[in-house]
């Protein structure tokens, strides 16, 4: 801990729910930016299992996925010696602060959250209170660590704005307690769309696996999914293609993987058949994901190494979280434990 604290770098925090299969959308919207920003920030990267149970999960799958997602964070290039990586439920302060923040969050605010509306539709048989109060837990995740920056995809912007409102409300009611975090939403790829239904975002728990690219898909599956991706009846790429949902999404993915601007990609493929773009995109994906998958296989095969990193991360997180939570409890008037 002391080494990490000495740096006094600003804090960057982000998390992903261990539901479904980590998908290209999650990589582009979130993980890629974690890796790019880790030089300048102390990164806190969480596998948010407590959020995942707002939707029913099979216990054995959830357990395996927590480890698999942590291994994928590392395979993506997160340096565990310079950042803090842990599983949310290993740090009980998240649940504790979440309860407090629930009491500073209005139902009117929660009613406006589009993710709640979406997920209530998708899981109509299980619209539970956790799904509804999810943003208060997310606010706790972020505010516990006095976070400066939160890299997220565009879909999480609304939750982050609510986090800022809750922090300001608490600070104004008592005195400055929480840092008010800034969002980091990537310029390109903030919303990667579904391959088969390109008007909705790519989601890692989609029941149709042809809708998303899993970071662990083998090359033949990657090629097949790209080949089958829905486009439109025009066959040739024009500058207008950028504004058409299906083909525009493929151009966006190509631009992100090849670190090119969208305009440069549209120029490169102008006048070409869609099938040419699909072929080159599949090659880029395979070239990008093969080394990622090799690193992943090595890490997931060394369970001791992974669990040591997660244990160390949870210890570091508990240390930081306790500082904020004690401050909060003192300000709201809770009697300090051990002095009653």
Catalytic residue IDs:
119, 201, 204
**Which region, judged by CB under 6 A, interacts with ligand AQP, from 71-79, 94-102, 103-111, 196-204?**
196-204
94 binds ligand AQP per the rule CB under 6 A: no
Instruction: Scan residues 200-219 and list those touching ligand AQP (CB under 6 A).
Output: 201-205
Number of residues that bind ligand AQP (CB under 6 A): 22
Q: How far is the CB of 21 from ligand AQP (least distance, A)?
A: 9
Q: Are 251 and 241 in contact (CB under 8 A)?
A: yes
Q: How far is the CB of 6 from ligand AQP (least distance, A)?
A: 29
153 binds ligand AQP per the rule CB under 6 A: yes
Kindly tell me which of 241 and 249 has the beta carbon lying closer to ligand AQP: 249
Q: What's the token pair of residue 101?
A: 């923040």
**Which region, judged by CB under 6 A, interacts with ligand AQP, from 32-40, 59-67, 90-98, 184-192?**
184-192
Kindly tell me which of 19 and 231 has the beta carbon lying closer to ligand AQP: 19
152 binds ligand AQP per the rule CB under 6 A: yes
155 binds ligand AQP per the rule CB under 6 A: yes
Nearest alpha carbon to residue 237 among 279, 201, 265: 265
By DSSP bridging, strand 42-47 and strand 182-184 are unpaired
250 binds ligand AQP per the rule CB under 6 A: no
Q: What's the token pair of residue 199?
A: 């008007």
Q: Are 3 and 34 in contact (CB under 8 A)?
A: no
To the nearest 10°, report the CA torsion of 107, 113, 118, 123: -30
- The residue written with tokens 């704005």 in the block is 161
Q: At what angle do helices 129-143 and 157-173 cross, to 10 degrees?
A: 70
What's the length of the chain? Answer: 340
Among 13, 20, 65, 140, binds ligand AQP (CB under 6 A): 20
Kindly tell me which of 2 and 207 has the beta carbon lying closer to ligand AQP: 207
Kindly tell me which of 25 and 43 has the beta carbon lying closer to ligand AQP: 25
Angle at the Cα of 37 (from 31 to 38), degrees rounded to 5? 90
Q: What's the token pair of residue 211?
A: 């809708």
Element (H, E) at 226: helix 219-228
**Which region, judged by CB under 6 A, interacts with ligand AQP, from 17-25, 81-89, 106-114, 239-247?**
17-25
Output the 3-class SS for 88-147.
HHHCCHHHHHHHHHHCCCCHHHHHCCHHHHHHHHHCCCCCCHHHHHHHHHHHHHHHCCCC
From residue 23 to residue 52, what is the string marking binding to ligand AQP with x (rule CB under 6 A)? x-xx-xxx----------------------
Among 11, 12, 13, 17, binds ligand AQP (CB under 6 A): 17
Q: Are 94 and 88 in contact (CB under 8 A)?
A: yes
Kindly tell me which of 49 and 280 has the beta carbon lying closer to ligand AQP: 49
Kindly tell me which of 80 and 151 has the beta carbon lying closer to ligand AQP: 151
237 binds ligand AQP per the rule CB under 6 A: no
Q: Which residues bind ligand AQP (CB under 6 A)?
A: 16-17, 19-20, 23, 25-26, 28-30, 152-153, 155-156, 190-192, 201-205
């Amino acid at each position: 801990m002391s080494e990490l604290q000495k740096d006094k770098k600003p804090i960057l925090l982000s998390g992903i729910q261990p539901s479904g299969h980590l998908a290209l959308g999650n990589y582009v919207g979130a993980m890629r930016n974690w890796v790019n920003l880790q030089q300048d920030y102390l990164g806190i990267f969480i596998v948010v299992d407590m959020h995942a149970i707002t939707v029913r999960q099979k216990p054995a799958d959830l357990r395996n996925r927590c480890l698999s997602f942590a291994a994928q964070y590392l395979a993506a290039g997160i340096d565990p010696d310079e950042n803090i990586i842990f599983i949310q439920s290993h740090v009980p302060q998240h649940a504790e602060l979440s309860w407090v923040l629930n009491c500073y969050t209005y139902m009117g605010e929660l009613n406006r959250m589009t993710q709640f509306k979406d997920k209530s539709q998708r899981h109509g048989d299980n619209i539970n209170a956790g799904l509804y109060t999810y943003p208060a837990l997310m606010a706790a995740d972020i505010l516990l660590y006095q976070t400066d920056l939160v890299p997220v995809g565009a879909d999480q912007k609304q939750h982050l704005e609510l986090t800022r409102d809750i922090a300001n409300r608490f600070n104004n009611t008592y005195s400055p307690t929480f840092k008010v975090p800034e969002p980091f939403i990537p310029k390109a790829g903030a919303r990667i769309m579904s391959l088969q239904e390109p008007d909705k975002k790519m989601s890692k728990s989609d029941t149709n696996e042809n809708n998303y690219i899993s970071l662990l898909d083998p090359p033949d599956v990657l090629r097949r999914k790209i080949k089958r991706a829905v486009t439109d009846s025009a066959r040739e790429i024009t500058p207008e293609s950028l504004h058409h949902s299906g083909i525009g999404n493929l151009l966006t993915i190509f631009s992100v993987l090849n670190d090119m601007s969208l305009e440069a990609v549209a120029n490169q493929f102008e006048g070409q058949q869609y099938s040419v773009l699909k072929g080159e995109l599949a090659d880029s994906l395979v070239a990008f994901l093969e080394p990622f998958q090799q690193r992943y296989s090595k890490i997931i095969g060394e369970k001791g190494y992974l669990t040591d990193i997660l244990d160390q991360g949870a210890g570091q997180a508990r240390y930081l979280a306790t500082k904020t939570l004690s401050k909060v409890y003192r300000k709201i008037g809770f009697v300090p434990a051990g002095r009653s």
